[in-house]
């Protein structure tokens, strides 16, 4: 019997060694792949690798109250990266258990929320805390958590009707919540270790630049789904409630779960059954594990056992369906005033990864343009605000809808000479006046399109300076033994190793300049809410710097110059005289100040915290009042085609009404309409 036991543990030890060695090889492969293919020649020396470790530890402990200074120093001396990850994970589990113990002791007695004190969540203390200081830090964080729960409904209720919950009850709930979360984060399974390992691989990628990352097979699929117009799915995703229970976190409108009418966001998920295969109770599952298990039911029928509001148990069967990704649905309207302007909002540059023809947003915008032209519009506004990008191919194809032919951008890769990317299709669909709306959250493909339009004098760009991302990424298998230096295939890769989303190219305009880190400056600036609060590319320490490229550009013939200066002059004059824009600017200044308080000076007393919330509520009410004051220069109308669609679906009708209501309160759109109106008058 002893021999059997010894043999078993011997095999187990060999398995652990083999598993650890596989990860060591994977870490080395990550460095090798990024060093080989990443556009930037970075020196992957000891300093670079130390920065990767610091990034990983910061991501684990962003508020600096888990690890001590000694922990940091000790971990940084571990020789191998793969050993560093395992030791960090185990120490994190130990320290978070200690954090739970300190929290439990503090929450056993009523926290004093009357003492004036402030918390800086992002204070850089490098973990250099002794036990006494750590207790002070933990107590401050706990006070903040208690205050958040005490005032949870404060934002949604009138002050007179708000009744503060019992503090002892709230502390007990937080104690239970923390214990559950701690148990979920402690290193008690290979799944937990794998999560830490993937996080370290991601830290390696992000040390090369902010847009590179490591993808497991599941994460790659999720990323591609986010860039698709349609996906085949059950139409829901799982999350965790405050106690760590599995709940319905979100549902796709019009999707399989939504259509049942029985499933609601917030319902507790007790069991997931894959018909004809297996079933699992969710009591010991994380949200990630539950979502992954749900994916095993693809192609079949899944039954969910749910506890809905009122503690009613229900069973619901689901089959996958093709569902539109709502965040990628294009909307178009007619803005009718003294002139008739078509308005198209494009939320993302989605594409069809699996389709035969790869039709995506460019094809859909073309359809909307044809509908609007049938309605007799005299100009078009294309709204790219908050469009974070997507498919580079779709951006190029979309530019080709508005430009007949010619070179669009220059792409520069590591093992290749700079190449000019041209319009793939001669001809165009729309040649009339065009205005493009952008802001600080317009990034990547949105910026490429805006840059092409500016270079060709094809559109007036209005709004705020864009994000500043002039790089392109590709997803490649981490096993690049199946590729040459130019990523031409020469074998079948091992996809089980995962994938590298890697920055392979820099992008330049036909003027050979890049907008990397600087963004696209609009032709006409329009102030907008939350300006100055949106993160930009330049905020990231690992962002690539702007440079130039040397390349001959042939057959580039820009169109006749647009009346940019005249439009800018009349718009600036309107904005200076407009009381709404003046108040908007003041609100933005106050929002920036309030944001800084929430970052660095959070009051952790009842009086101070309530005062801060009152300040925020006052600002939000000022925004609401301001938007209600707007008297837009247009009516929002649907196209005849859209009117017929709305009749067929209650969901489409509700969505349409919500969008139209928002457009009537859009002060930036109103100014864009007036600019476009002037542009059309000069075009006649």
Kindly tell me if the per-residue pLDDT of 664 is higher than 80: yes
Closest CA to 465 of 447, 449, 480, 488: 447
CA neighbor of 293 nearest in space, from 246, 344, 349, 355:
246
264 has pLDDT over 90: no
pLDDT, tens digit, 9 for 90 and up, residues 210-226: 999 998 887 777 777 66
Q: Is the pLDDT of residue 439 over 90?
A: yes
Which of the pair, 430 or 71, is modelled with greater confidence? Answer: 430
Give Cα 245 to chain centroid, integer Å: 25
pLDDT at 134 over 60: yes
- pLDDT tens across 309-351, in order? 655 678 888 888 776 665 457 889 999 999 999 999 998 888 8
Q: Percentage of residues in the chain with pLDDT exceeding 70? A: 88
> For 582-600, how does the pLDDT look when each residue is reduced to its tens digit (9 = 90+)?
999 999 999 998 888 877 7
36 or 378, greater pLDDT = 378
Q: What is the mean pLDDT of the chain?
A: 86
Question: Quick check: 106 pLDDT over 60?
Answer: yes
Task: Read off the pLDDT of residues 467-505 as tens digits, 9 standing for 90 and up.
Answer: 999 999 998 888 877 676 667 666 677 777 889 999 999
The predicted model gives 504-514 an average pLDDT of 95
The rounded percent of the chain whose pLDDT value lies above 90 is 46
Look at residue 235 in the predicted model and tell me its pLDDT: 83
Q: Which of 61-65, 187-191, 581-585 has the highest mean pLDDT?
A: 581-585
Highest average pLDDT, of 32-36, 444-448, 625-629, comes from 444-448
DSSP 407: E
- Specify the range with the lowest mean pLDDT, choosing from 157-166, 275-284, 375-384, 664-673: 157-166
Residue 508 in this model has a pLDDT that exceeds 60: yes
Query: What per-residue confidence (pLDDT) applies to 595?
Result: 86
Q: In which band, very low, low, confident or very high, does the pLDDT at 6 lie, cut at 50, 70 and 90?
A: very low
pLDDT confidence of 25, banded at 50, 70, 90? confident
Q: Looking at residue 180, what is its pLDDT?
A: 67
Q: What is the pTM of this model?
A: 0.84
Which of 152-166, 206-220, 226-240, 534-548 has the largest mean confidence? 534-548
pLDDT band of 203, cuts 50, 70, 90: very high
Three-state DSSP at 660 gives helix
Over residues 610-620, the mean pLDDT reads 89
In this structure, what token pair is assigned to residue 509? 């305009």
- Which pLDDT tens digit goes with each residue over 112-133? 999 999 988 766 544 445 667 7
Q: Distance between the two ends of the chain, CA-based, in angstroms?
A: 96
pLDDT at 60: 86
Residue 222's pLDDT is what? Answer: 73
Please give the pLDDT value at position 124.
53
Q: What pLDDT was estimated at residue 154?
A: 80
CB-CB contact of 459 with 16 (8 Å)? no
What sign results for the dihedral spanned by CA atoms 192, 193, 194, 195?
positive
User: What mean pLDDT is predicted for residues 52-74?
Assistant: 87
pLDDT band at 640 (very low <50, low <70, confident <90, very high): very high
Task: Kindly list the domain boundaries of the chain, sorted by start residue.
Answer: 41-208, 233-324, 328-475+497-563+632-683
How would residue 8 be classed by pLDDT, with cut points 50, 70 and 90? very low
Q: Could you count the other beta carbons within 10 Å of the beta carbon of residue 266?
A: 11
Tokens 């949604």 sit at which residue? 156
Within 10 angstroms of residue 2's Cβ, the number of other Cβ atoms is 6
Rounded distance, CA 523 to CA 521, Å? 7
Alpha-carbon separation of residue 674 from 334, 398, 527 (angstroms) = 14, 24, 15
pLDDT at 366 over 80: yes
Q: For residue 243, is pLDDT > 80?
A: no
Tokens of 536: 């930009």
377 or 552, which is more confident? 377
Structure token digits, residue 4: 């059997």
| Domain 233-324 class, CATH top level | mainly beta
CATH topology for the 328-475+497-563+632-683 domain: 2-enoyl-CoA Hydratase; Chain A, domain 1 (3.90.226)
- Confidence (pLDDT) at 217: 80
Q: In the predicted model, is pLDDT for residue 509 greater than 80?
A: yes
Highest mean pLDDT among 266-270, 434-438, 485-489, 534-538: 434-438
Average pLDDT over residues 614-623: 90
Cα(185)–Cα(176) distance, integer angstroms? 14
At 328 the pLDDT is 53
């Amino acid at each position: 019997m002893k021999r059997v036991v010894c043999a078993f543990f011997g095999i187990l030890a060999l398995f652990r060694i083999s598993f650890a060695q596989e990860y060591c090889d994977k870490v080395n492969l990550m460095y090798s792949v990024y060093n080989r293919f990443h556009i930037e020649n970075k020196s992957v020396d000891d300093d670079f690798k130390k920065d990767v470790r610091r990034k990983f530890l910061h991501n684990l402990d962003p508020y600096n109250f888990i690890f001590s200074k000694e922990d940091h120093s000790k971990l940084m001396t571990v020789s191998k990266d793969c050993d560093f990850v395992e030791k960090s994970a185990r120490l994190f589990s130990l320290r978070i258990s200690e954090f739970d113990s300190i929290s439990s002791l503090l929450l056993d007695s009523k926290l004093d929320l009357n003492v004036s004190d402030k918390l800086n969540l992002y204070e850089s203390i490098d973990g250099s805390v002794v036990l006494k200081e750590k207790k002070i830090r933990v107590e401050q964080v706990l006070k903040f958590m208690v205050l958040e729960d005490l005032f949870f409904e404060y934002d949604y209720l009138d002050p007179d009707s708000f009744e503060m919950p019992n503090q002892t009850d709230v502390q007990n709930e937080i104690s239970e919540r923390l214990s559950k979360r701690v148990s979920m984060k402690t290193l008690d399974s290979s799944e937990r270790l794998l999560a830490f390992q993937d996080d370290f691989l991601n830290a390696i990628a992000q040390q090369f630049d902010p847009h590179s990352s490591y993808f497991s097979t599941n994460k790659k699929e999720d990323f591609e789904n986010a860039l698709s117009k349609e996906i085949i799915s059950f139409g829901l995703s799982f999350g965790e409630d405050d106690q760590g229970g599995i709940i319905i976190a979100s549902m796709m409108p019009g999707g399989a779960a939504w259509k049942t009418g029985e499933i609601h966001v917030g319902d507790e998920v007790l069991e997931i059954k894959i018909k004809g295969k297996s079933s699992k109770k969710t009591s010991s599952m994380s949200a990630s594990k539950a979502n992954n298990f749900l994916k095993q039911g693809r192609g079949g029928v899944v039954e969910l056992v749910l506890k809905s509001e009122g503690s009613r148990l229900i069973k619901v069967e689901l089959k996958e369906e093709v569902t539109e990704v709502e965040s990628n649905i294009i909307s178009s309207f007619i803005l009718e005033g003294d002139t008739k302007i078509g308005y198209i909002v494009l939320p993302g540059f989605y594409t069809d990864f699996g389709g035969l023809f790869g039709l995506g947003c460019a094809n859909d915008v073309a359809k909307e343009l044809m509908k609007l032209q049938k309605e007799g519009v005299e100009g078009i506004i294309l709204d790219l605000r908050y469009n974070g990008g997507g498919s580079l191919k779709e951006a190029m194809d979309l530019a080709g809808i508005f430009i007949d032919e010619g070179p669009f951008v220059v792409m520069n890769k590591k093992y290749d000479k700079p190449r000019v990317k041209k319009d793939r299709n001669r001809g165009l669909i729309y040649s009339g006046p065009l205005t493009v709306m952008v802001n600080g959250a317009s990034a990547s493909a949105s910026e490429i399109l805006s840059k092409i339009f500016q270079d060709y004098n094809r559109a007036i760009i209005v709004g705020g300076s864009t994000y500043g991302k002039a790089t392109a990424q590709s997803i490649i298998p981490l096993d690049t033994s199946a590729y040459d230096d130019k990523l031409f295939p020469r074998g079948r890769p091992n996809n089980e190793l995962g994938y590298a989303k890697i920055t392979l190219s820099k992008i330049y305009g036909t003027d050979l300049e890049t907008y990397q880190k600087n963004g696209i400056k609009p032709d006409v600036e329009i102030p907008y809410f939350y300006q100055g609060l949106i993160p930009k590319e330049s905020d990231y320490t690992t962002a690539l710097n702007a440079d130039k490229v040397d390349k001959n550009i042939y057959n580039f013939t820009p169109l006749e110059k647009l009346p940019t200066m005249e439009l800018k002059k009349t718009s600036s004059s309107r904005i200076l005289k407009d009381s709404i824009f003046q108040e908007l600017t003041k609100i933005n200044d106050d929002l920036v100040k309030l944001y800084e308080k929430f970052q660095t000076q959070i009051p952790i007393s009842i009086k101070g915290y309530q005062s801060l919330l009152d300040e925020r509520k006052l600002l939000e009410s000022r925004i609401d009042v301001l938007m209600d004051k707007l008297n837009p220069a247009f009516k929002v109308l649907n196209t005849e085609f859209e009117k017929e669609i709305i009749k067929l679906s209650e969901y489409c009708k509700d969505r349409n009404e919500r969008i139209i209501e928002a457009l009537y309160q859009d002060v930036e759109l109103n100014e864009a309409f007036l600019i476009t109106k002037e542009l059309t008058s000069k075009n006649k």
